[in-house]
């Protein structure tokens, strides 16, 4: 569900980080301000220099909106671990090069990271019951 929503926002022209935040806003009923989305304007394309995939950064931001600091930090590790198990790095440029080689598309990454987040959030909510 989160992945589908994120891809819908991508098709509407939102950047990677905005897609994740907008989808989480809708799915988890988060009170995301206009300023948060404006802040996401500057965190796309590997922070503008092709470095860290900002999907991960946006994911951690969402965790922070949903949970306390300690839980967010634990969830961050889970997300980074899940991503590292599936992809050969977190560098936007390297991931983009693989996309150009036909191995994956940014849209696919958006959906997959959102799905990873959704699973991690569900697991965390389950442990809280």
For the chain, give the mean pLDDT: 85
pLDDT at 4 over 90: yes
Whole-number CA gyration radius for the chain:
14
Q: Is the pLDDT of residue 52 over 50?
A: yes
Q: What is the model's pTM?
A: 0.86
Say what the pLDDT of residue 105 is: 58
pLDDT at residue 104, rounded to an integer: 47
Hey, where are the domains in the chain?
A: 2-127
pLDDT value for 112: 87
* Whole-number percent of the chain with pLDDT over 70: 82
60 — pLDDT class (breaks 50, 70, 90): very high
């Amino acid at each position: 569900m989160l992945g589908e929503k994120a891809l819908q926002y991508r098709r509407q022209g939102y950047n990677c980080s905005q897609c994740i935040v907008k989808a989480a806003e809708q799915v988890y009923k988060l009170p995301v301000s206009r300023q948060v989305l404006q802040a996401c304007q500057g965190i796309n394309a590997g922070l503008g220099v092709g470095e860290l995939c900002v999907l991960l950064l946006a994911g951690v931001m969402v965790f922070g909106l949903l949970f306390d600091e300690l839980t967010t930090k634990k969830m961050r590790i889970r997300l980074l671990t899940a991503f590292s198990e599936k992809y050969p790095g977190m560098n936007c440029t390297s991931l983009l090069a693989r996309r150009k080689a036909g191995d994956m598309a940014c849209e696919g990454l958006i959906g997959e990271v959102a799905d990873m987040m959704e699973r991690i959030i569900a697991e965390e909510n389950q442990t809280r019951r």
